[in-house]
Structure 1
Amino acid sequence: MSTTYTVRDSATMLRRNLLHIRRYPSLSIMLVAQPILFLLLFVYVFGGTMGAGLPGQSGVGDRSDYLVFITPGILIMTVASVALGTAIATATDMTTGIIARFRTMNIARVSVLTGHVLGAVIKTAFSLVIVTAFAFLLGFRSDAGLLGWLGAGALLVLLAFALTWLTVGMGLAADSVETASNTPMFLMILPFISSGFVPTDAMPWGLRQFAEYQPFTPIINTVRALITGAPTDSDLWLAIGWCVLISLLGYLWSRRLFLRVPAK
C-alpha cells in the first residue's frame, strides 16, 4: 500500500481517537487530574521540609524551591498517566473486536496503531500545557529562555511517543481492560524512584544505584536543566537514547502483536 494511503488512513484513525476523547472526556480529566493532585500534595504537604533539604539550600529552602525541583517529575508523571490511558483504550478496542474488524478492511494496518499513538501524543501535549500552567499558578518561576522550554517540550513529546508505543503493546497483550489498566502502573511508580522528588544522593546505596541508571532519571534531569536554564551535560544524550530505544522496542512489539490478531 502506498505512503499516500497510509497517511490518509492514519489521519482517519487519528480523527477516530480524537472523537473518542471528545465524547468520553472523563478518562482524560482523571489522567490529567492525577499529576495535579500529586503536585498539590508534594508542594503543600512536604514542600516546606523537602525544600529545606535540597542541595545548595543550606536549610533555608522553601516550598517555591521544592516546586521548581519537582515540576519536571510531575511532567514526566503526566506523560506516563496519558500513556496508561492509551493502554486502556487499546485493550478496549481489542476486547470489543474492532481491531479484528479493522484488519478485514482495505486500510493500512499500521494506521490502526498510529492513530492511537498520534492521538495520545496530542492529548499529552495538551495535558502538559495544563499541568505547566498550574505549576506557574502555584508560583513556579524560571530563568530559562524560549529555546530551553522548546527543548523541554520536544523531549517530553519524544517521551510521550516512546511510552505510548510501549503501552499500545501492553494494551494489545492484555486479556482484559482491567489488566491493561494495571500493567503500565510501573510507569507511574518509576518517577518516585528517580531524581524526580528527592536527589538520588539522599537514597540508600542500592536504591540510589537503581535510581541513577533507570530511564526516567536522565530524562527528568534534562527537563529540569532545560526549564531552569542549567547545563544539561551528558543527561541530554542519555535521555534521547532511552526515548529512541523505548520507541523502537515498543513499536516492534506492538506491530508483532497486532499482526497476530486474527481477522474475522
Structure 2
Amino acid sequence: MGKGKRLKAERRTEGPKPVKARAAFSPGVLTVNEDEIWKLIELMDADALPSFGLACFYLASSPVRVANQCLFANTVLMLAMQSYGIAANLVAVELDIPWANNGRGIRYGRPDPELTDTALSGHIALLTDERFIDATAWQFPEIRTTMDTTRPLTAKLGTDHARIVATRGGVLQTKLERGEQVTYNVYPVGFADGVGSKFMEIQPDQAELPRLTQNLLNSYAVVVAMLRPGVRTRFPRFNAAIEQAKGKKVAWDGDHLVAVPQWD
C-alpha cells in the first residue's frame, strides 16, 4: 500500500460554519482526489510546501466541505502560514473569467469586501512574500468545469513582484489545467483587513480558530514527514515542525484531523 493510500481518512461533513458568499451560483463541495493532492505535495518545490502545499492539504482534509468558504479558509491558512514565519495576508480580489457567460465574460469579487452577519460579499485570497494563492477558486462553476480535482490556484510572483502587489495592487493572469486563462485584480494589503478582523471578532468561540489552525499545522506536518521525510526549506520553523512530526500519524478525533503518536 502506497503512502498516499495510508493517509486517506473518512471525512465528516459537519464542522465549523464558514462564511458564505452571497452569490447567484451553486458553489459545490470540495470533492478532492486525495491521491492527486499527495502527489502534488510529494513533487512540488520544497519552499512551496509551507504555503501552496498547506493550501492543498487544507482542501483535502478540512471537515468543512462547502466550497464557498474563502474568508474562513484563508483566515485559517493565513494564521498557519504566519506561524511558519511567512508574511501571509488576506487580500481582496476580483476574478475575471473571459469565456464565461457565452463569451461575454463574468467577474466575481469586489475591491471592498463586506461582511454582514455571516454573509461575505466579495472574494478573498492570500498573498505571501512571494506567492498569490486562491484556495477556494473551486467554488466558481466556470473554474470547476476546467479542473479534474479540487486544488488551489496559485501564481509564483517572486519577492519583488509580491512586494509591489502588496503595496499597490496588481493584475495577475493564471493559466488553468486545460489552457484557459483567468485574470485576478488583486487589491493592496489592507483592503480585506476590515472583513478579516470582523470575522475573527464575531466567532462565538474565540478559541476555535486557533484550535483549527493548530490542528491543521500538526496534521500537515505529519503528512509531509511521511511523504518527504528529508525535506528542507528556507523556513526554519517549518523544518522544525517536520522533524517533530516524525513517528506520528494522523487520525480523526470525531470532527478534526489530528496528529497522534504512532505505536508499532
- Give the TM-score band, short-chain normalised: under 0.3
- Greater strand share, 1 or 2? 2
Of the two, which has the highest radius of gyration?
1
Q: Which has the higher contact order (CA 8 A, sep 6+)?
A: 1
TM-score calculated relative to the size of structure 1: 0.24
Q: Which has the higher helix share?
A: 1
